[in-house]
Structure 1
Amino acid sequence: MSKHPGARAFLLAISITSVVCVQADDPDMVNKSNNPLNPEAGMNLLDYYTPKYYGSNIHTNDLLVRGTLPIAPNGFIGVPQLLRATAPISIRPDPGGGYSTGEGDLNLIDFFLLKTEGVQLGIGPQITAPYADKDELGTGKWQAGLAAIAIDSSPRGLLGALVQYQNSFAGDSDRSHVESATVQPFVIHNLERGWYLRSTATWAFDLKNDTHYIPLGLGAGKVWKSRDNILNAFIEPQWTVEHKGDGLPQFTLFVGFNATFGQ
């Protein structure tokens, strides 16, 4: 059994779904489970284990607990929304030469779904709250910015990208200013019997320190139907193909489990 928590969660999810679920042969069902703009309630467990960094012998782990909640349009806004909250549980090196484990900074995004047919479009504000248990687990800064996403869905799969920008505006005055951007391409290719191939690695740009890294991922996943819910387990190794700066991820193992409710 692997020693890091994400792999254990992935294997547990596989064990449970293989017992209680039935086959998913509908490409639309696979797309719903993988589409970040799917306007239905969901929960994700996403684990990033990074054993190799450039210029360093450290390792890290981030288990992201993410929930999405649809908000029906009302008279004031007039468009549907999708609220997404992400709370990380991280393992990071501490100043004493060991490792700290605890909660990281909380991120909230409110997507306004501007287009829900054809190529789906979503844009909205985001905020990151400095809720980390220890300094090494977060930035110590309040951050705000924008997120925009476009997704094209077809029987073949999904194609799109999520772009995020954040800038710190308050927080611990002894901590460094934060300005960052990320680009996450989505490439999902559907196979038969609920299987699919995926590439969803996030490109990260530290605009304050002028560093960046660009990984590429290649993985696979499996979707099941369980009663009224869609369940999805996957694994995606990610290799950095271009970077600027030290202390950046060289290789990351990404595993996850998604649940879409009320289908």
Structure 2
Amino acid sequence: MRRTFALTVLFLSTLCSLSFAQDDAAELAKKLANPIASLVSVPFQNNTDYGIGEMRGTRNTMNFQPVLPISLNKDWNVITRIVAPYVTQYNVTGFGEKQSGLSDAVMSAFFSPKNSEKLTWGVGPAFLLPIATNDYLATKKFGVGPTAVALKQANGWTLGALVNQLWSVAGNEDRPDVSQMFVQPFLVYNWKSGAGLGANMEFTQNWKASTTTLWLNPTISAVTALGKQKTQFVIGPRFNLAAPDGGKADWGWRAVVIFLFPK
């Protein structure tokens, strides 16, 4: 593990040293630390988790997470984000059993002022979209609720939190209703090279089932250019601090590739 971590740090450091203006890298890294920055990006976030439950299952989740900012007028932006997961899991619902397919997606729209000197913030609606292609990965419910994000950036540091609450309002009557809160505090430090060190926590509370899931995700990152394509790479371990009975994972890892399209 130590050797793998050292090689990862070396790899990301090499990326940062490629032909890419330092000022541009620093500015892009700062925007990427801000979930509601005015920056078009297309992240692919892969999470692999091991030792899930009594059957020591494995789950891989690839999240497709495009971000599209829209200028409403001279004072306001709306930042649209969608998280569409593709899940493949083994030995989670039963020994020798496998499920794969799209899970339900969450789409958010943050209305955010363009000029916020001290605190960057955004609020808006969030939607649960029942697009799952596998019954085990589906709620079969359409949901809606509020979402908000607030953060402070200074001297390379970004500190903030994102939250949403979703309630089901339509869908399959044979499936349980949805009432779920998601909270994600985050902390990132970015150097002028575009390299970064950070962590977030992902807290999910299922009010209907009275269950809590909590992940801690420390990461290292680098901004570079692959040819003309500006890109960020992120990698780090995942630690499952809390989960519903029988569903806790031993550990996992996260790897992210983000394609950037600055104006």
Structures share fold, TM-score greater than 0.5: yes
Q: Kindly state the Cα deviation for residue 24 of structure 1 after the two structures are TM-superposed.
A: 5.2
Aligned to 1:131: 131
Q: Contact conserved, 2:15 with 2:223, CA < 8 A, in 1? A: no
Q: Contact conserved, 2:30 with 2:156, CA < 8 A, in 1? A: no
- Would you say how many aligned residue pairs link Structure 1 and Structure 2? 248
For residue 253 of structure 1, what is the amino acid of its counterpart? W
2:215 is the counterpart of 1:218: no
Question: Where do 1:10-29 residues align within 5 Å?
Answer: 18=15, 22-23=19-20, 25-26=22-23, 27-29=26-28
2:68 is the counterpart of 1:69: yes
Aligned to 1:99: 98
Q: Kindly state the Cα deviation for residue 154 of structure 1 after the two structures are TM-superposed.
A: 2.1
Aligned to 2:76: 79
For residue 168 of structure 2, what is the amino acid of its counterpart? S
Q: Contact conserved, 2:204 with 2:213, CA < 8 A, in 1? A: yes
Q: Contact conserved, 1:33 with 1:260, CA < 8 A, in 2? A: no
Q: Cα gap change, 1:49/1:206 in structure 2, threshold over 3 Å: closer, same or farther? A: same
Q: Kindly state the Cα deviation for residue 173 of structure 1 after the two structures are TM-superposed.
A: 1.3
Aligned to 1:39: 38
Q: Kindly state the Cα deviation for residue 244 of structure 1 after the two structures are TM-superposed.
A: 5.7
Task: Write the distance in 2 (CA, Å) between the matches of 1:152 and 1:229.
Answer: 28
Q: Contact conserved, 2:240 with 2:250, CA < 8 A, in 1? A: yes
Q: Cα gap change, 1:230/1:150 in structure 2, threshold over 3 Å: closer, same or farther? A: farther
Q: Kindly state the Cα deviation for residue 106 of structure 1 after the two structures are TM-superposed.
A: 2.2
For residue 246 of structure 2, what is the amino acid of its counterpart? D
Task: Write the distance in 1 (CA, Å) between the matches of 2:250 and 2:111.
Answer: 34
Q: Kindly state the Cα deviation for residue 236 of structure 1 after the two structures are TM-superposed.
A: 2.0
Task: Write the distance in 2 (CA, Å) between the matches of 1:249 and 1:205.
Answer: 17
Task: Write the distance in 1 (CA, Å) between the matches of 2:136 and 2:79.
Answer: 31
Aligned to 2:5: none
Q: Contact conserved, 1:233 with 1:256, CA < 8 A, in 2? A: yes
Task: Write the distance in 2 (CA, Å) between the matches of 1:101 and 1:46.
Answer: 17
Task: Write the distance in 2 (CA, Å) between the matches of 1:24 and 1:188.
Answer: 21
For residue 105 of structure 1, what is the amino acid of its counterpart? D
Normalising by structure 1, what TM-score? 0.83
Q: Which segment drifts farther, 78-87 or 105-114?
A: 78-87
**Secondary structure of the structure 2 residue equivalent to 1:31:** helix
Task: Write the distance in 1 (CA, Å) between the matches of 2:51 and 2:109.
Answer: 33
Aligned to 1:8: none
- After superposition, the CA RMSD in angstroms is 2.8
Q: Contact conserved, 2:42 with 2:66, CA < 8 A, in 1? A: yes
Unpaired segments ≥5 residues, structure 1:
1-10
**Secondary structure of the structure 2 residue equivalent to 1:37:** coil
For residue 31 of structure 2, what is the amino acid of its counterpart? K
Q: Kindly state the Cα deviation for residue 251 of structure 1 after the two structures are TM-superposed.
A: 2.5
Q: Contact conserved, 2:166 with 2:179, CA < 8 A, in 1? A: yes
Q: Contact conserved, 1:115 with 1:121, CA < 8 A, in 2? A: no
2:51 is the counterpart of 1:52: yes
**Secondary structure of the structure 1 residue equivalent to 2:65:** strand
Q: Contact conserved, 2:15 with 2:222, CA < 8 A, in 1? A: no
For residue 44 of structure 2, what is the amino acid of its counterpart? L
Q: Kindly state the Cα deviation for residue 158 of structure 1 after the two structures are TM-superposed.
A: 1.1
2:175 is the counterpart of 1:175: yes
Q: Kindly state the Cα deviation for residue 58 of structure 1 after the two structures are TM-superposed.
A: 1.8
Task: Write the distance in 2 (CA, Å) between the matches of 1:157 and 1:80.
Answer: 23
Q: Cα gap change, 1:190/1:42 in structure 2, threshold over 3 Å: closer, same or farther? A: same
Seq. identity, %:
23
2:156 is the counterpart of 1:156: yes
**Secondary structure of the structure 2 residue equivalent to 1:132:** coil
Task: Write the distance in 2 (CA, Å) between the matches of 1:250 and 1:181.
Answer: 24
Q: Cα gap change, 1:229/1:158 in structure 2, threshold over 3 Å: closer, same or farther? A: farther
Task: Write the distance in 2 (CA, Å) between the matches of 1:137 and 1:244.
Answer: 16
For residue 53 of structure 1, what is the amino acid of its counterpart? I
Q: Kindly state the Cα deviation for residue 174 of structure 1 after the two structures are TM-superposed.
A: 1.4
Normalising by structure 2, what TM-score? 0.83
